Amino acid sequence: MQITFLGTSSGVPTRSRNVSSVAVRLDQRAEVWLLDCGEGTQHQLLRSDLKSSQIRRIFVTHLHGDHIFGLMGLLASCGMAGSVSQMDIYGPPGLDEYLQASRRYSQTHFSYPLRVHTVQPGKVYADDHYEVTCTRLEHRVTAFGYRIQEKDKPGHFDAAKAKALGVPSGPLYGRLKRGETITLGDRTIDGSQLCGEVRPGRTLVYCTDTVYCEGAVQLAQNADVLIHESTYAHQDADMAYERLHSTSTMAAQVALRATAQQLFLTHFSPRYAPGSALQLEDLLLEAQAIFPNTKLAHDFLTYNIPQRT
């Protein structure tokens, strides 16, 4: 899995940071998923090496404008380009009504099927390779965090050993790679004996907008990557509690308690822009004092989640 940050500002865009969106490029398939779609996301896509024609699913955390105002523009452009065959969007109650009203009043017609799924805590989506779950966060409106779990992969298949056992290359190899047992003449061959150790699937967790909460900790358990909002510095904790956003230290505490591998801070208040008394580097230092493996996200930062061994 490869993640690309398309927007890392909170509330409003700045000269260097757009509002919230993260793209997830999936391995071994020409498919991109979006986490949130703030205003201008399609412009950010044009400035990246991602293709909007590959977007297949969009997961929306909540209905505040800096997370959804880019949806209709992106969906309309995909329709006009004729490059999308189908789109599935997942989000809280009210998302479908918002999109229907936007389509009705703008008289926008899509050339592809658009399916909107209202999510509840639990499993949101699953296929042969990935599973997506969500949980409630604590914000001023209904908000969800998402966990993308890659399913475990079979270990390395020993083709030379299979050949030595007289297994002809072809469909039987595929069955053995999946760990199945086959019959070859009067012999049975156990595919699990020809494969190395199972490779654990990778996990990406996305939590925004929220104040520190147990839901985020549980969702992020043992995640390879946790993307967590860090709207405020620790000294502005009163403002964070009032507005139900997180500080840098809250995000780090979630990562620490969840035993995550890597934390990316995002969704920064413009109050920490260059020239301000506090800078984003100060927020980074605050978080690293609690959870050392923390990085600041910035627009167009790309990160490949490493395969666990």
Q: Rounded to whole angstroms, how far apart are CA atoms 224 and 131? A: 15
Which is the catalytic residue, given 27, 49, 66, 128?
66
- 236 as an active site residue: the answer is no
So which residues are the catalytic ones? 66
